[in-house]
Amino acid sequence: MQLFEAIILGLVQGLTEFLPISSSAHLRILGEFLPGAEDPGAAFTAITQLGTEAAVVLFFWRDIVRIISHWFKALFGKIPRNDPDAKLGWLIIIGSIPIVILGLLFQDQIETTFRSLWLIAATLIVFGILLGVADWVGAKNRKMSDLTVPHGILYGLAQALALIPGVSRSGGTITMGLFLGYERAAAARYAFLLAIPAVFGSGFYQLAKSWGEPSVYTLGETAIATLVAFFVALGVIAFLMSWISKHSFLPFVIYRLLLGGALIVLLSLGILQPY
């Protein structure tokens, strides 16, 4: 039964990580409805995200290799320092700093207070509305080549908000990108690339931290969930990049509002407990 639950959670992780609907919120909520009725925990969430982020690396492999190669070449003066890909490498580094600092500062709250279902319901609704507003008012005329250091920092701060389940890593960064006037595809592409250092850092940190410690799921069950999340996420990335080239984020906004509202009703009736 534990293995079956882990597989279901891995499936949900893969389905929701890159859609702007918050995978951590879904894992937290789903845990309440599984036979054990228990929060999978921040460590399980962070480790299974290694699978989804590996899918990003595979999907954007050529982009990643090119960015890293040009960054090193520019660093040693073999190509101009203002090379677009070298610049993008620096922006990913700069944009990753906020979530590293805030993640370390608020580590205890991330694993406890921030996992309150009341807070998750609120963030699902509030950031769903923000996504809808950004998608509506954003100019959508900037490309990734227009990225600047201030924009990179703002993207990074938006990503750091995803330390709170319900915000959504992709949703927060895409929302910021839309507010800054970037095209939907450009905002999403940068959001995915920006997440790589943060997710791998968090995942491996939690893996090392939880090694040998008791948890809801064993490391073997967590590994299987991570593998499931990887394969599912590959399909989801392809779907989302195709979808946003032709459609708005409205369906995701509506879904967030409905899920947040349903969560408030369940909590108000006492069917679910906040912790």
105-154: pLDDT as tens digits: 888 888 788 889 999 999 999 999 999 999 999 999 999 999 999 999 99
What is the tens place of the pLDDT at every residue in 181-192?
A: 999 999 999 999
Predicted structure pTM score: 0.90
Q: Which domain holds residue 196?
A: 2-268
- The dihedral through the CA atoms of 159, 110, 201, 74 has a sign that is positive
Residue 133 maps to a domain: yes
Rounded CA-CA distance 264/190 in Å is 33
Residue pair 50/28 in contact (Cβ under 8 Å)? The answer is: no
* Phi and psi angles of residue 202, each rounded to the nearest 5 degrees, phi first: -65, -45
Residue 36 CA to chain centroid, in angstroms? 26
* Phi and psi angles of residue 166, each rounded to the nearest 5 degrees, phi first: 110, -25
Residue 273 maps to a domain: no
pLDDT-above-90 percentage for the chain: 70
Q: What is the mean pLDDT of residues 207-211?
A: 73
pLDDT-above-70 percentage for the chain: 96
Residue 31 maps to a domain: yes
Residue 227 maps to a domain: yes
- The dihedral through the CA atoms of 66, 68, 71, 72 has a sign that is negative
Q: Tell me the Ramachandran region of residue 270: left when phi exceeds 0, alpha when psi lies from -120 to 50, beta otherwise.
A: left
* Phi and psi angles of residue 60, each rounded to the nearest 5 degrees, phi first: -105, 30
pLDDT class for 36, splitting at 50, 70, 90?
low
Rounded CA-CA distance 67/160 in Å is 23
What is the tens place of the pLDDT at every residue in 51-69?
A: 999 999 999 999 999 999 9
Residue 275 maps to a domain: no
Residue 242 maps to a domain: yes
- DSSP alpha helix (H) spans, 32-167: 42-59, 61-75, 84-105, 107-111, 117-137, 149-160
DSSP 182: B
When the pLDDT of each residue in the chain is averaged and rounded to a whole number, the result is 91
The confidence score (pLDDT) of residue 212 equals 64
Residue 274 maps to a domain: no
In the chain, the number of structural domains is: 1
Residue 181 maps to a domain: yes
Q: Which DSSP string do the residues of 223-247 spell out, in sequence order?
A: HHHHHHHHHHHHHHHHHHHHHTTTS
| 207 pLDDT above the threshold of 90 | no
